[in-house]
Amino acid sequence: MASEKGKSSGDRFVYQEFGQDNPAALERAIQELTPQKQNLRVQATRAGRKGKTVTVISGFQTKPETLQALLKQLKTQCGTGGTVKDNEIEIQGDHKQKILEILTKLGYKAKISGG
């Protein structure tokens, strides 16, 4: 017991399959497609938002940094707030037509989805 003084059981590894503990190495790589190869869906919805209308843009296959830059551009051109959730962009209010025009000017293939 005296030899184990000062050691915690969390410092020792009995078996580790993948070498060093590196969570970034285990993450799945996101394949970033060009805007022309992405098929986006633009829809206005109120589901689960207490009656507030939100325009949701889905279908992105890009890095989170690219989504944040696109979100900022859409928010300024629509004059409203928004966020990125689960690889989708949510813009407050019903801006389907305006967002569709902006995305097509940027080179994305986008369609309005839903009623």
Domains of the chain are: 32-112 (3.30.780.10)
What pLDDT is stored for residue 36 in this prediction?
Answer: 87
pLDDT under 70: residue ranges of the chain: 1-13, 15-30, 115
Tell me the longest C-alpha to C-alpha distance in the chain. Answer: 73
What pLDDT is stored for residue 69 in this prediction?
Answer: 95
What pLDDT is stored for residue 106 in this prediction?
Answer: 93
Instruction: Give the Cα separation of 67 and 115 in Å (integer).
Output: 25
What pLDDT is stored for residue 29 in this prediction?
Answer: 61
What pLDDT is stored for residue 30 in this prediction?
Answer: 62
Instruction: Give the Cα separation of 21 and 33 in Å (integer).
Output: 30
Q: Which helix (H) or strand (E) holds 107?
A: none
pTM: predicted TM-score of the whole model, two decimal places: 0.72
Exposure string over 24-47, b if 16+ CB within 10 A, otherwise e = eeeeeeeeeeebeebebebbbeee
What pLDDT is stored for residue 97 in this prediction?
Answer: 96
